[in-house]
A and B are shown apart, each in its own frame.
Chain A
Amino acid sequence: MKKITFPLITVIGIAAIFNLQSCEKNPDTSQLSAAFVVATSRASTVNFSDYSTYFISDTISYVSNTNSNDTIITGPAAAQIISEIKANMDANGYTFVARNQNPDLGLKALAIKNVNAGVVYPPGWWWGYPGYPGGCYWGCYPPYYPMPPVAYKYSVGDFITETFDVKNAETNNNLQSIWYMQLSGVLSSTDATNVTRTTDGIDQAFKQSPYFKK
C-alpha cells in the first residue's frame, strides 16, 4: 500500500503545481496606454538653428490597404493636425512661408492605416507612393537619408512627418531628410480621438527634440 501511495502523492503534487500556475504566463498588458508611441530621429551633423523658414502643405498624404481611393487627407482633421505642427515650429522660432518663397525647411506629413503587420521599413520607403510629393516637389533632387533607419513593426496606424533641408539641396545635390517623427499605435473608431492622439503625439515629438529650434 505504501509503495502505491508514494508515487500517487508525487503525481498529485506535481499536477497541483502545474494546475496552480502553468509555466509561462501571459503578460498583463491591460495597463498599457492607448497613446501613440512617439519616435523621432535626427541627422547628427545638422545645426537646426541654421534654418529660419519652413513650409508645410495643409493636406496629409494617405496610404492605406483599406478600400479607399483617397491619397490625401483634407478637412478639419488635417487642418487640426497641420496646425499643431505649425504651432510647434512657430514656437521653436521658425517662420512659415509659402512654398514659392524658398523655404529653408520643407515638412511633409503622411498617414498610414492598416497597411500590414510586421513590416520593417526605413524613413522614406513610401517615396513614390500615390499622393506623396516626391520628384521635383522641393526641387529635382534625389532623396537622401543620412540618419539610421527607424525599424519598427506596425499593425494599425502611423502618422509620419519628415523635414527636408531645402535650403542646402542645391549645394548638397540631394534633398536631405534632417528630422523624422513617427507616431504609431492602435487607431480608435472615433476620428476625434485619433486626431487628439495625433496632436498629443506631435507635441511630444517636439518636446523630445529640444535641438529642433532656431
Chain B
Amino acid sequence: MKKIIIILIASFSLAVTAKAQSLHNLYGVSWEVGFPVGDFIKKVSYSGGKLEYRHFLKPNISVGGTLSWNNYEEYFTQQTYENADQTQAITTDNDRFVFTLPMTIDGFYYLEGGATFQLCVGIGLGAQYSSQSIYYNIFVTEDKNWGFIARPQIGTLIKFSSTSPTRVMLAGGYNWSTNKNEQLKIDNLQNFWLSIGISFTN
C-alpha cells in the first residue's frame, strides 16, 4: 500500500511539473476489467475492452467518444429461490450473464500537459445496450434493454518518449446506467472498472 501511494505521488508530481504539450487528436484501444456492483453477479470480468477518440479543444481539455463493452458471468450452485409472499419456490443451479455496451460522449480535463505523465479527470454520458440472462438446465430467461449511462473516470497518459505519438493509457472509473430488468429484479447496472491500453496521438 505504501509503495502504491509513493508511486501515485511521484506520478502526480511528474505530471504537474512536466512541460505542456499540445495534442490535436487521440485514438485509443484498451483492455477493461469490470468489478460489478450488486447482487445479480459479483464476479470480476476480464472480458472487456474500449475504443475511444479524443479531440483536444485546448491543451488541457478534450471532447470525444468511447465505445466499450464487458461480459460478466457467474455460476451459482443449486439453491432455492422464493417469491416475496413465499407462495412460489424454484430450485436450480444457474449461470448468470450480463453483457454491457456503453456508448458515450466524453469530456476530459488534463492537469497540465505533461511530457511523460498526463493526469486527467473526465466523464462520459450516453446510452448503454445490455442483455441480462439466467441459464438453468436447458432454459434461459433473458432480456435486452437500453439505458442512460454516466461514466465518471480518472486516468493518465504515459509517453514512451518525447517524440513518440504513442502513449500508454491507464484509467479507472465507475459506470452507472438505468438499464432495468423487472423479471430478474435489476433496477440499474453499476460497476467499477480499470483499463490499460495504448493510444496514438497527433
Contacts and interface: CB of A to CB of B under 8 A. Distances in A.
Interface of A: 6, 9-10, 13-14, 16-17, 21, 23-25, 27-29, 31-44, 147-148, 150, 152-156, 184-186, 204, 208-209
Contacts of A39: 88-91
Contacts, number: 109
A148 B78 contact: no
B88 A148 contact: yes
B88 A186 contact: no
SS class, residues of chain B in contact with chain A: strand
B106 to A, nearest CB: 18
16 contacts: A13-B29, A16-B29, A17-B49, A24-B99, A24-B101, A27-B95, A29-B135, A31-B93, A32-B137, A35-B137, A37-B92, A38-B90, A38-B91, A39-B90, A150-B88, A153-B140
Nearest to A9: B200
B89 A209 contact: yes
Contact of A37 (B31, B47, B136, B165): B136
Interface in B188-202: 198, 200, 202
Chain A to chain B: the 6 pairs with minimum beta-carbon distance, closest first: A185-B137, A38-B91, A37-B92, A27-B97, A39-B90, A23-B69
A33 B88 contact: no
Contacts of B27: 10
A154 B139 contact: yes
Given A28-B73, A31-B75, A40 B93 contact: no
Contact of A27 (B51, B73, B198): B73
Contacts of A37: 90-92, 136-137, 139
A10 B93 CA distance: 44
B80 interface: yes
Interface in B75-129: 75, 78, 80, 85, 87-95, 97, 99, 101
B138 interface: yes
A43 B94 CA distance: 27
A155 B139 contact: yes
Determine which residue in B75, B85, B133 has the highest number of CB atoms from chain A within 10 A of its CB, and name it: B75
Given A6-B200, A13-B29, A21-B47, A41 B88 contact: yes
B153 interface: no
Nearest to A43: B87
Nearest to A182: B90
A23 B101 CA distance: 8
Contacts of A25: 47, 71, 73, 99
Given A23-B101, A33-B93, A184-B137, 6 more contacts: A16-B29, A33-B92, A39-B88, A148-B88, A208-B89, A209-B89
Contacts of A152: 139
A147 B49 CA distance: 46
Interface in B32-56: 47, 49, 51
A17 B29 contact: yes
Nearest to B49: A17
